[in-house]
Structure 1
């Protein structure tokens, strides 16, 4: 879901909205099963998969057998897990959208200049999805790898994207979101979160400290389309304790904004990226 879609519907409305006549329920169930595996649920029994996806055990079993036959899912001691073939789904987008050609050079330049890490993300429902990433960091913390998905409210990228929503869409988001305390510093009060997003909108950038995970201090700016709307976000991040929000703003904000502007102009030449980012 892109930003324009959030303008007309909330995540709950999306789930309940009428489906096209040609909607394939079985395919939707299979994709939901693939998406339900994560770091906290790397292996699951049939009943656990069914519960996480909201299916009957019989329906989950049919989908799992199909995915297993196709090589996307494996089984060990009655517990299911993803197989490497799943990575081909994400890599197909990566290469088709020319991520390495369009986005990675700028991210590498930012990391070469400042060190640390840099990412580009887009909004998908209430989450931010990382579509490009470059890093010199090797610390154990929340991974900002390509394809990673995190609550938008807890990331600098996500707050910039939320700040780019029209007022009505932002209001619906605030009414529906239930932020989880990922650290002791995560903003979980919807009213406080809304005020923070409005501050981001006014400033034109977002800074976060230990919101998603301990040790992450980040600065993000919007990537804008031709009409000035926010279509994606770009960030730079470092270790909490080694960098501060004020330091990131003072040393990196001008370069980050220039890079975001360049990316915004470049994606106009790539139809897939235009579609993904709503540019």
Structure 2
């Protein structure tokens, strides 16, 4: 089993603007890398635009731990030399995505457009939110929708319960490791076998709790089981006390939109309740979404 480490929780939607290195309750938390190239296009491919990738890397260097940085700090965060980092910072400043005050640089509000462009381009978001809010109202638990990006699941819609489940604050745009989340595993189960094999081969498997599955074969078995069942349960693998259930959600044409889940406290909601009460509700919700979303 691997060394317990930290997860980098990045909030892309709200935007590239709040990313956090956050500590889970029972262990030290080191960064889980966000896949900058989920489509698999190699950096040496003739269609790969290195300058664009580097510019996005600079934007993503700013987070809750590093909201304002000097040129030297940006260079250190991105692994660039000072001259290269300076050119990209000044370009982003000229485009309005970075603000400058004396020696310090920080992201400008314009970066929010990058995340909200995704939300505005997907008009089903309002429908999804209504259904998630209904789930929270009925169960008293948090409910979310996520999509897969590389080795991470990204939260694209969320209805939070009044009580806090985790030591971190989840919101739209948050990234979590797909391997240790119910939505992530459910979405991995939707991949073609070859794509899944490649993903698992390249995916970092970190230990977050004593229950975390870090063996690739065991993880593959859990993912295969989720595919066969049509739902996925992850029990206290990302954080002790956190139990979640996820199902895939489709539109009326049968196209996969993502996965929705219910997150609960293991001490408050047992597995019987999860399966007998929450699973039928999630499945009913998915049918309703499929009938409403084009």
- Deviation readout 1:196-237 (Å, 9 max, x if unpaired): 111211221111122223342110001135675644111111
| Aligned twin of 1:7 | none
Cα deviations across residues 50-72 of structure 1 (Å, max 9, x unaligned)?
34434333222211223234443
Residues 14 and 40 of structure 1: CA distance in aligned 2, closer, same or farther (over 3 Å)? farther
1:106 Cα deviation after fit: 0.7
1:38 aligns with: 63
1:115 maps to 140
Whether contact under 8 Å (2:39, 2:150) holds in the other structure is no
Partner of 1:129: 154
Alignment partner for residue 179 of structure 1, among 205, 211, 220?
Answer: 205
1:192 and 2:218 aligned: yes
Partner residue in 1 for 2:243 = 217
Corresponding residue pairs, total? 257
**Structure 1 pair 82–249 and aligned structure 2 pair: CA distance change class (3 A):** farther
Q: Secondary structure at the match of 1:103?
A: helix
- Other-structure match for 1:156: 182
Q: Residue 109 of structure 1: CA displacement?
A: 0.9
Q: Does residue 260 of the first structure (1) align with residue 274 of the second (2)?
A: no
Report Cα offsets for 1:140-171 as digits up to 9, x if no partner.
52333111111111111000000111111111
Residues 83-122 of structure 1 mapped to structure 2, 5 A cutoff: 83-122=108-147
C-alpha deviations, 1:163-192, integer Å up to 9, x for none? 111111111112111212233332222222
Once the two structures are superposed, residues 234-259 of structure 1 have per-residue CA deviations (whole angstroms, 9 ceiling, x without a partner) of: 11112231123332111111110121
- Report if the CA contact (8 A) 2:245-2:261 is conserved: yes
Q: Secondary structure at the match of 1:164?
A: coil
Structure 1 gaps of 5+ residues are: 1-9, 269-279
Q: CA deviation at 1:12?
A: 8.9
Instruction: Give unmatched runs, 5+ long, in structure 2.
Output: 1-36
Provide the TM-score with structure 1 as the length reference: 0.80
| Pair 64,182 (structure 1): closer, same or farther in 2 beyond 3 Å | farther
CA shift in 2, pair 1:24/1:15, >3 Å: closer
Look up the match of 1:5. Answer: none
**What is residue 14 of structure 1 aligned with on the other side?**
41
Deviations 1:52-103 (A, max 9, x none): 4343332222112232344433456855443433223222322332254221
Preserved CA contact (<8 Å) 1:223 1:264: yes
2:86 maps to: 61
**C-alpha distance in 2 between matches for 1:230 and 1:184:** 32
Aligned to 1:73: 98
Distance 2:55 2:160 in 1: 33
- Contact 2:43/2:50, CA 8 A, preserved across alignment: no
The answer to which structure has the higher helix fraction is 1
Provide the TM-score with structure 2 as the length reference.
0.76
- What is the DSSP-based 3-state SS (H/G/I as helix, E as strand, rest coil) of the residue aligned with 2:293? helix
RMSD: 2.7
Once the two structures are overlaid, the 10-residue window that deviates more, 248-257 or 76-85, is 76-85
Most deviating of 51-60 and 152-161: 51-60
